[in-house]
Structure 1
Amino acid sequence: MSKRCSYSLRKRLFWRLLAVQSVVLILVMIVLISVGKISEFRSTEGTIEILRQAVFRQPTGELSLRETEDLRQLRKDAPDLWYAVRDMQGHVLTEGRIPEEYATIGNTLDHVGQAKFGLNLGDHDRPAALMKWVATDWGQVQFLTGTDGPNSSTFILLKLSLVLAKIVIPIVAVMALGALIATPLVVRRSLVGIDQAALQADTIDIDQRGGRLSETDTPEEIAPLVHAVNRALGRLDEGYERQERFLTDAAHELRTPIAILNTRIGSLPHSSIKTDLLEDAARLAVLTEQMLDLQRLKQGKVQFTKVDLGQLARKVIIEMAPLAFAAGYTVQFDVDGAGEIEGDPLALQRALMNILQNAINHGGRKGIISLTAGCHWIEVNDEGPGIPTDMRDRIFEPFFKRHHDGRGAGLGLNLVRDILRMHGGEVTIDNRSPGAVCRLSFPPDKTAGVHTPPRLATA
């Protein structure tokens, strides 16, 4: 499916508004032309041209008209033809009923080369007329008429061009300037609600559910989209809640059969198969507890109390040592320098167990796994191949596994990182010859812990 490029609503509205305004303006001009309200398209110019070609001066000096074909056709097409032709010597030639407004003009316009009368829009009291002085072979001649006559196509095109240049283009330019200024303001004010909804959408997160987009100041045209998004968010919230309930219930239900499985495996005679089964059962138990820890931390069910790092380490090593021995490791333990911190005992125990489980899984099944503790830190060291450089930044990502065919779900180290963040500390893994070392560091100030659940990733 091809991806459609985004576009600017302001630009699209501007050009479409300008196009509509231009079309409306042109239609108005056409209507005005059709009803004869725009003078540039009245054909009195054609009548004057026919009269100019027909007029001549008699030997006595009087003005007269030849009976040309165009003049005969004009009289046929315009039975109410009227005109007045005069020269500078005072000779006058008239025909038809001249309106009273123009009958007495005489020589009052001798110094005006051309004039138009009665051409204002809405002017119904005075008939339209055109007066024009034209140069001929025998001097200047004044033509005055209000009768429409035929115009050539070239003349019409010229007049159209003049109307476009004098009326349409300036009006369109003014409308474009107005639209250019008004459109961004209108769009900005109309989309204030959309901007607010966008900011709210950025705050919606899987660990902060229940958020909805505001419908305040949302245009009616956009409101259905906001409603649909809010309904979709509601369905997602319901789906996540059902998923979390399922994971929690499944983890609780798995505890009993895993305990029974461990008991039955323990009763088997010692062999390599028993060792493998014990490791598999341990991994299954760890995964089950990780699922429960995720749900507990996400729900904010944590209790900060005084935690002795030495006692915590002893409890974890006692529980995990049999699994390490069965996998072929030697275990060293030094927590004499351990101190106290403020934290959640269950979460810290799970974090340390995950670190030891990671060392057992990736330590090469040989050598020593050592656990040491200081005033505000705990370290777990193995003698395995270490951590590849290109994986050090990714091993804490959720569901990341160093080997595609490796065991586990890839939640252990991600959960450790979230637990340490919840306590205001950090977890680091680095190579140390031989093997790798994982360090859990806690803030020296016991009040530095953040007593809020971390933002956890879920499947």
Structure 2
Amino acid sequence: MTAYSLRWRIVWPLLAVLALVLIAVTAGVFFHLMTIITNSRSVDESVLPFVAESIERDDTGALRISPTPELARIQRESPDLWFVVLAADGSEIRYGTVPGDLQAIATRLDSVLDSDIRATGDSPLTSMISRVTSPVGEIRIMFGGRLQTESFAVMLLDRMKIIYLPFLSFTLIAAFLAVPILVKRALAGLSRTTTIAASIDIDRRGQRLPLDDVPEELLPLVTAINAALERLDHGYTQQRRFLADAAHELRTPIAILQTNLEAMPDGRQQQKLLNDVGRLANTAEQLLDLHRMDNGMQRMEEVDLVQICKSVAGDLAPNAIAAGYEISFSADCDRVPAHGDAGALERAVANLVRNAIEHGGGAGSIQVIVSPPNIIAVRDEGPGIPADQREEVFEPFYRAAPKRSGAGLGLNLVKQIVQRHGGEVSIVPSDRGAHFRINL
């Protein structure tokens, strides 16, 4: 399945629509101008700079025309060309014949800033007044007699290109930068909901996704997810309660069975049955430990790791010796203080020692070591754990050797206890045996 970005799926259509709207509006403006303005020709504005460059003053300060090659070419091509030049000091110079109907305007040129007169057909009244800069300063030029070769429509398109293309580019760039930010802000509530969803795990049950700031279109999805979480929590609670009740109910018959077996005559069969009952009792106790973990650790206080590990090693020494091991305890100092639940930490270390007894090969030594800062190590000299299974062995109900006894809960219980203390349990690579290390 290929994932896609919701934000960009919104942004690209918006940008496309915006571009189409701009193009449509521009086309509409163009055709509107075509309907309200006659499709006539205007004078050729390219004449203006050539006229301005040809204006200079003689020795007396009067204006005179010194045609540049370009102006001379235009004069030859357009015999009807005429223009009136008015300087800032009021001096004036004329070229060609000004149409009679425009004489009144030409004599009052100082009163007109700009104009664009378009007459019908080839009427000589078509003219223009414009202000330009010349060698003698700013001047006003009124001229006519040379028309544009293009129609008004072509000229309008050419002018719109100069204005429209930069405007379109600027608008699209601004939209490309602004729209993603606006869409991101609009989806900010969904991003916060995603962050909360990512934080939900087995140890934070009961948490639900907030419905605030969620887009209306996604509200049914978030509501459905909350309903699913509710069902999962309910099912998980029922399962845990069943396991705890079953384990609790098994303790009494297991104790009675163990008492009856101990009353049997000594022998290999009795010992085998006692070992099996012991494993059954250990599994029931581990299930109860998981239930206790779900209810939280209520006795978090300062504990001594040296005393805890020494007590575990002493309690399990008979089991280790009976299974064919030598068990030892060592500490780098007399006391290693830590903050935690003494009972939970004791169960974690005990599970590591039982794991060593169960899977250590029935020979060699088991070492329980405490060292600062807050490190507990349990080693054996058995076959060890393959490198590709060192993470999986901490999963519930996983067993490195499926045919061996045990429910596969012990190491998972160790991992949960250590994690709730803010620590980490790991398997240290070793040439011989398994080496578990708890770092609180």
TM-score by length of 2: 0.60
1:359 aligned partner: 356
State the superposition RMSD in angstroms.
5.0
Deviations 1:408-443 (A, max 9, x none): 23331232344356567776766889755657788x
* Amino acid of the structure 1 residue aligned with 2:314: R
Distance 1:5 1:169 in 2: 32
**Whole-Å separation in 1 of the counterparts to 2:235 and 2:420:** 26
Distance 1:267 1:160 in 2: 113
Residue matched to 2:15: 18
CA change 1:156–1:243 in 2 (3 A) is farther
- What's the counterpart of residue 171 of structure 2? 175
Of 298-307 and 196-205, more deviation after overlay is shown by: 298-307
Report how far residue 315 of structure 1 moved: 3.5
> Does the CA-based 8 Å contact 1:268-1:274 persist in structure 2?
yes
In the TM superposition, what whole-angstrom CA distance separates every residue of 1:64-97 from its partner, at most 9, and x where no partner exists? Answer: xxxxxxxxxxxxxxxxxxxxxxx959xxxxxxxx
Matched residue type, 1:21: L
The correspondence for 1:329, drawn from 324, 330, 338, is 324
Structure 2: distance between partners of 1:418 and 1:21: 55
Q: Which residue of 2 aligns with 1:98?
A: none
SS at match of 1:223: helix
1:4 aligns with 2:9: no
Q: Which amino acid aligns with 2:168?
A: V
**Secondary structure at the residue paired with 1:38?**
helix
- The offset of 1:159, in angstroms, is 8.0
CA change 1:367–1:184 in 2 (3 A) is: closer
Distance of aligned partners of 1:332 and 1:208 in 2 relative to their CA distance in 1, 3 Å threshold: closer
Which residue does 1:79 correspond to in 2? none
Unaligned runs of at least 5 residues, structure 1: 46-86, 90-103, 118-127, 134-139, 145-154, 443-459
CA distance in 2, matches of 1:369, 1:29: 86
Summarize the alignment of residues 153-232 of structure 1 with structure 2, pairs less than 5 Å apart.
Answer: 162=158, 165=161, 169-232=165-228
Quote the Cα distance in structure 2 between the aligned partners of 1:427 and 1:187: 44
Percent of pairs with identical residues: 37
User: 1:281 & 1:129 partners in 2: Cα distance?
Assistant: 117
The answer to whether the 8 A contact 2:312-2:350 is kept is no
Give the deviation of 1:218 after TM superposition: 3.4
**Does the C-alpha gap of structure 1 residues 220 and 393 become closer, same or farther in structure 2, counting only changes over 3 Å?**
closer
Q: Do the aligned partners of 1:194 and 1:218 also contact (CA within 8 Å) in 2?
A: yes
Question: Which AA in structure 2 matches 1:412?
Answer: G
* Cα shift at 1:285: 1.8
1:251 aligns with 2:247: yes
The aligned residue for residue 314 of structure 1 is 314
Q: Secondary structure at the match of 1:282?
A: helix
Shift of 1:264: 4.7
Name the residue aligned to 2:46.
none
Q: In the TM superposition, what is the alpha-carbon distance from 1:176 to its structure 2 partner? A: 0.9
CA distance in 1: counterparts of 2:122 and 2:222, whole angstroms: 67
Give the CA deviation at 1:6: 3.7
Matches within 5 A, 1:47-66: none
Q: Is residue 413 of structure 1 aligned with residue 408 of structure 2? A: no
What pairs up with 1:10-159 in 2 under 5 angstroms? 11-28=8-25, 37-38=33-34, 88=80
| Equivalent AA in structure 2 for residue 242 of structure 1 | Q
CA 1:234/1:163 → structure 2, altered by over 3 Å: closer, same or farther? farther
Q: Take 1:26 and 1:279, find their aligned partners in 2: how far apart are those partners?
A: 86
CA distance in 2: counterparts of 1:427 and 1:30, whole angstroms: 71
Greater Cα offset, 208-217 or 433-442: 433-442
Between 192-201 and 257-266, the greater mean CA deviation after superposition:
257-266
Contact 2:381 2:434 in 1 (8 A): yes
Q: Assess, with a 3 A threshold, how the Cα gap between structure 1 residues 21 and 129 changes in structure 2: closer, same or farther.
A: farther
Cα displacement (A) at 1:202: 3.5
Deviates more, 1:432-441 or 1:227-236: 432-441
How far off is 1:105 after superposition?
5.7
Q: How does 1:240-279 map to 2 (within 5 A)?
A: 240-266=236-262, 272-279=268-275
Aligned letter for 2:181? L
Distance 1:200 1:381 in 2: 40
- Residue of structure 2 equivalent to 1:96: none
Q: Identify which range, 224-233 or 425-434, moves more after superposition.
A: 425-434
Q: 1:64 aligns to what?
A: none
Structure 1 residues 13 and 170: alpha-carbon distance in aligned structure 2, compared to 1, 3 A threshold:
farther
Please give the alpha-carbon distance, in whole angstroms, between the structure 1 residues aligned to 2:179 and 2:386: 57
> CA 1:228–1:131 in structure 2 vs 1: closer, same or farther (change >3 Å)?
farther
CA distance in 1 between counterparts of 2:162 and 2:439 reads 81
Moved more, 388-397 or 251-260: 388-397
Q: Cα 1:278–1:40, aligned 2, differ >3 Å: closer, same or farther?
A: farther
Number of positions where the alignment pairs a residue of Structure 1 with one of Structure 2:
354
In structure 2, what is the Cα distance between the partners aligned to 1:228 and 1:129?
74
For residue 289 of structure 2, what is the aligned residue in structure 1? 293
1:392 Cα deviation after fit: 5.2
The answer to whether the 8 A contact 1:33-1:41 is kept is no
Seen in structure 2, the aligned counterparts of structure 1 residues 311 and 405 have a Cα distance that, compared at 3 Å, is: closer
Checking the alignment, whether the CA contact within 8 Å between 1:387 and 1:431 is kept in structure 2 is: no
- Counterpart of 2:238 in 1: which secondary structure? helix
Distance 1:197 1:231 in 2: 15
- Contact 1:14 / 1:179 at 8 angstroms: preserved in 2? no
Residues 224, 382 of structure 1: alpha-carbon distance in 2 compared, 3 angstrom cutoff: closer
The letter for the 2-side match of 1:23 is: L
Q: CA deviation at 1:361?
A: 1.6
The answer as to whether partners of 1:363 and 1:435 remain within 8 angstroms in 2 is yes
CA distance in 2, matches of 1:15, 1:377: 56
Shift, 1:31, TM fit: 5.2
Q: d(CA) in 2 for partners of 1:130 and 1:229?
A: 76
Instruction: Give the distance between the partners of 1:424 and 1:143, measured in 2 at CA.
Output: 89
In 1, the alpha carbon distance for the partners of 2:13 and 2:342 equals 66
| TM-aligned CA deviation for residue 349 of structure 1 | 4.0
1:3 aligned partner, one-letter code:
T
Q: Matched residue of 1:211: which SS?
A: coil
- In structure 2, give the amino acid aligned to 1:17: L
Structure 2 gap ranges (5+): 42-78, 82-99, 107-114, 125-143
Deviation at 1:388, TM superposition (A): 4.6
AA in 2 matched with 1:415: L
Q: CA deviation at 1:293?
A: 0.8
